Amino acid sequence: MKTRILEILEKKGDYISGEEISKELGVSRAAVWKHMKKLRELGYEIESKTNEGYKLIRTPDRPIDFELERMLNTEIIGKKILLFEEVDSTNNKAKQIALKEKDGTVVISEVQTYGRGRRGREWHSPKGGIYVSFILKPNIPPERAPQLTLVSSLALIETLNSATYNLNAKIKWPNDVLISGKKISGILTELSSDMEKINYIVVGVGINLNTNIKILPENATSLKLETKREVSVSLFLKSFLEHYDRVYQEYTNGNIKQIIERWKNNSDTLGKRVKIIGINEIYEGLAKDIDENGALILKTKEKEIKVYSGDVSLR
């Protein structure tokens, strides 16, 4: 119930009357009042004004609810969650434990001292952001592993664009999530497999949530900046993990086509002229489509080619 009250307060972002809350939840106003009291004890700053109601001012310093696992309404994702205040990298931590953990186990940290980005880059991971790694064990051949990056960026986009945050986030191929052209999240997918069989995939997602504007890189944004309010980390994680669970289940049920369709609808890259800096080459052309493994189909001057990874800039 406390979670639902927080959701209502967050969504409103302003004063909402006790009566409205009690109606929405089907409980008495006295019950709402009791839960507000409990939330304040847990460190939530909630202002109340006669005739106006309640307004969420600040969420507590300890950002992740230790009850997150129990708050989740999921089938696979987050049945087990390992929470840390600080780790070197959640992807490293996840890889250390992946063999013995179940499909869907999640590692979360508030800070990373050695966050890793794509192509050996550093991923600056200060307090205010959130760093999440998913241990996945789908029954697929190794060449399909990049599809999990599509699953992950779609789950994040569907979280950010849901009614709670109501944003217009877009995916920049291969796996950056942007709002108004600025990066809010990056995804790093790592695979352990032999020739035929996957041992595990670790998908790491770093998200700028309440990251202080002063320490954000120039071309980056945060959820706080976009929604103009401090975001509850617990509620964000609940929503993200639940969206992830849904998309991951669609995936394991064989519905990759639908996932790719939705991914395309949210793409910031397709239909545009782009320059792609790959590991050894640079390509230029029209970003036409993605194939079912997430490779970009690029129409260059000479021919159509498939590009598997790279950094994209618009031409």
- Taking CB under 6 A as the rule, does residue 165 contact ligand BTN? no
The alpha helices in the chain, defined as continuous H runs, are 2-12, 18-25, 29-41, 68-71, 90-97, 147-160, 223-227, 233-252, 256-265
Smallest gap, in angstroms, from Cβ of residue 71 to ligand BTN? 21
The residue among 118 and 275 lying less far from ligand BTN, judged by its C-beta, is: 118
Number of Cβ atoms within 10 Å of the Cβ of 240: 24
- Closest residue by Cα to residue 226 from 272, 149, 170: 170
Omega before 174 cis (within 30°)? yes
Under rule CB under 6 A, which residues in 110-129 are in contact with ligand BTN? 112, 115-118, 121, 123
The residue within the footprint of ligand BTN, chosen from 59, 74, 105, 133 (CB under 6 A), is: 133
* Residue 98 Rama label (left phi>0; alpha psi -120 to 50; beta): alpha
Is residue 204 within the footprint of ligand BTN (CB under 6 A)? yes
Q: What angle do CA 255, 261, 263 make, to 5 degrees?
A: 100
Residue 231 main-chain phi, psi, to 5 deg: -100, 140
Least Cβ distance, residue 94 to ligand BTN (angstroms): 8
Span of 88-96, 136-144, 227-235, 245-253 interacting with ligand BTN by CB under 6 A? 88-96
Phi, psi (rounded to 5 degrees) for 302:
-90, -45
**Range in contact with ligand BTN (rule: CB under 6 A) among 11-19, 85-93, 146-154, 193-201:** 85-93
Q: Which two tokens stand for residue 95?
A: 């890889």
The stretch among 108-116, 157-165, 208-216, 231-239 that binds ligand BTN (CB under 6 A) is 108-116
Closest to 129 (Cα-Cα) out of 63, 196, 59, 202: 63
Q: Is residue 240 a contact residue for ligand BTN (CB under 6 A)?
A: no
Q: Which of 148, 155, 229 is nearest to 185 (CA)?
A: 155
Least CB distance to ligand BTN at residue 190 (A) = 9
Which residue, 56 or 220, is less far from ligand BTN as judged by CB? 220
Query: Would you count residue 152 as binding ligand BTN (CB under 6 A)?
Result: no
- Binding segment (CB under 6 A) for ligand BTN, from list 163-171, 200-208, 219-227, 307-315: 200-208
**Which residues make up the interface to ligand BTN (CB under 6 A)?**
89-91, 112, 115-118, 121, 123, 131, 133, 176, 186-188, 204-206
